[in-house]
Chains A and B, each alone.
Chain A
């Protein structure tokens, strides 16, 4: 006889389960930027709904700041069953100590089974600190989450060595199970204006909290041209083979029409068409856009390492033997100077 069932027969397993049930539900720590919820907050709510279905649990979200009542409703429309709102002028600005205190008080009281943070500056700063305070485990920068239903544990897939491959990690019976989620990893859930949920105010106790980290100024007010290349969703990149500045202007125009950012390979940098902030390749930033269009980039190994996480790759190159065609989903053998103008015309009329 399989001894696994013995515990079930004697009821030992049932008792164990009851103890564990003290930790329940999935909590999403929502983030606010410029008075709006960040996309990753909503993406997490969507994923949490799926996980909650497997667990038979509710999805709650926390919202910290001032005057956020409307945003709480949006979280509910996107799939949260309830929102715990800490509406307090002292939380209007983010401070490490106050946010950690409010969240750890809340989670110690509510005992979540799973807590999700965005893998953003804020999440990467708060999640490990909370995990340490709550004496529990954390998996960072997850690209996928699922529930192992036999063990009732969270299973998380996260990239290692810059996305070369993945580790699938799981939790060893500790609760809450905390994960930070890569922005863009999950789909944005649909908003259902008729969804209804509870908004509950959290008591904010900041007695004896002294802010040892003061924010003196931020670049928020300054006119920032664009999101950094590493976070761009569409990138059009040009290489030396576009020929001259005129050719590169076409690359820029294509980027504009596609609503993306312009970038370049090492060759474009050497020609002075781009600066180092827009370099894809050795010494540049790794990019992970949804769409990457490479115009006259041969695609050496450094370029590949920098753009390997792009979801859809289009290559236009004169040389049919260029290595870039091995990584491209769609390729056109041709001169970008001849292909881009009709492409622009086509896209504009569409």
Chain B
């Protein structure tokens, strides 16, 4: 059984400050991390490895620095890793990213499951999973909180659904997106981190390796500009005895709630 986990490397939000009045993002420390939710997907794959002996393959699209993310995944327990990097991949949007990942997955060959994170923290989007599923012609189950059982090519899972949950059954191969509540990702052992850099390898594929041309990657959407929420103005402080303050607050609240 083979499980493929596409992961994304993002800028660590702990390293930047958003200045609302100046409408700028100041990056103090340029540090990159694996999208936290993608780690939940990887953890779920590793649990399938522990329980069913699945082979876990991670792949990631981006600049050469993404190598670190893949080595971290290897240290956590992944078996194989692929880095998809090319100058032509520099400014891809979701549709092109799904195409590149799709081609890479086809090149990897046989698989039973694809697990993705539910949402990317940096863009807030949750497109890659369903787009990939559509491209590969797979059924999808999104926002999975628990993989309940897996046998004979059928998987049962509990997913978030309409303020509650739904228990669903899907035949493999399939794509699942994993919700953040699903699990607590493991920490890699120190020795495995050393091995990830010294012993194990990351295979690199470029545009040509995937049989793609630049025209196929032309973006469909574009970031026009950044926008910032209004600066929080210093609020009003109601002064007076508790009774007076309560009366004034009641007036404000009634307005706010009736809205």
Contact = CB atoms under 8 A, between A and B. Distances in A.
Given A166-B229, A290-B259, A314-B249, A213 B237 contact: no
Interface of B: 13, 18, 20, 25, 93-95, 98, 121-131, 133-135, 139-143, 156, 160-171, 174, 218-229, 232, 234-239, 242-243, 245-247, 249-250, 252-254, 256-257, 259
B242 A139 contact: no
Interface stretch (A9-17, A42-50, A222-230): A222-230
Contacts of A215: 166-168
A234 interface: yes
A216 B169 CA distance: 7
B140 A125 contact: yes
A46 B190 CA distance: 55
A79 B242 CA distance: 47
A291 interface: yes
Interface stretch (A65-73, A191-199, A325-333): A325-333
Contacts of B220: 136-137, 171-172, 174
B94 A138 contact: yes
B242 A137 contact: no
Interface in A119-150: 120-121, 124-125, 127-129, 131-133, 135-141
B256 A338 contact: no
B127 A334 contact: no
A208 interface: no
18 contacts: A96-B140, A120-B162, A128-B127, A128-B129, A129-B130, A141-B124, A160-B124, A167-B226, A167-B227, A171-B221, A213-B169, A218-B162, A218-B164, A259-B257, A314-B249, A330-B238, A346-B246, A350-B250
Interface in A18-60: 33
Nearest to B139: A212
Interface in A142-186: 155, 157-172, 174
Contacts of B167: 215-218
B103 to A, nearest CB: 14
User: SS class of chain A's interface: helix, strand, loop or mixed?
Assistant: mixed
Main secondary structure on B side of the interface with A = mixed
B245 A132 contact: no
Given A129-B133, A228-B163, A332-B238, A167 B123 contact: yes
A203 interface: no
A3 interface: no
A343 interface: yes
A173 B21 CA distance: 33
Contacts of A216: 156, 166-169
A345 B242 CA distance: 12
Contacts of A171: 220-222
Contacts of A271: none
A342 interface: yes
Nearest to B23: A165
Contacts of B165: 218-219
A78 B201 CA distance: 59
